[in-house]
Amino acid sequence: MSFTPTGSLSLSFFLFRFLSLSLSPFFLCLILTVSLSTRRQILSKFEGEKDEERHRKKEKEKYREIGRQRNREKEEERYRETEEERDTEKRQIGKKRKRQRKRERDIGHCDSYIGLT
């Protein structure tokens, strides 16, 4: 016989039927009580395992969510860094253009003083 909850129950009724013909009512009650308590223990063990499994799943999901949050934060940080780099590059390009225009203007002024323009 198997030790699954249904197997335990069928075993107890099998014993009850088989032994009811030859044993006194006291022993029959004792056998039935023991088999039912065994069944309850087995059921509680399975329920405990199910609870542990649910708890493990919740813990896994919790840690997955923490990992996802960290990945989001890292991605946002990378995006901010690249955005800052782009802004810095734009500022540098703007400064170079400004210097170039100033140089061209200064050269133009020099040329006008000399009389080239």
Report which residue type is found at 104: E
Q: What is the distance between the alpha carbons of residues 30 and 19, in angstroms, rounded to a whole number? A: 12
Q: What is the pLDDT of residue 57?
A: 94
Share of the chain above pLDDT 70, in %: 70
Four-residue CA torsion sign, 6, 8, 10, 16: negative
Count of the separate structural domains present in the chain: 1
Tokens of 9: 């129950």
pLDDT-derived band at 19, boundaries 50, 70, 90: low
pTM over 0.95: no
Long-range CB contact pairs, 113-117, < 8 A, 24+? none
Q: Averaged over 18-24, what is the pLDDT?
A: 65
Structural domain of 96? 5-114
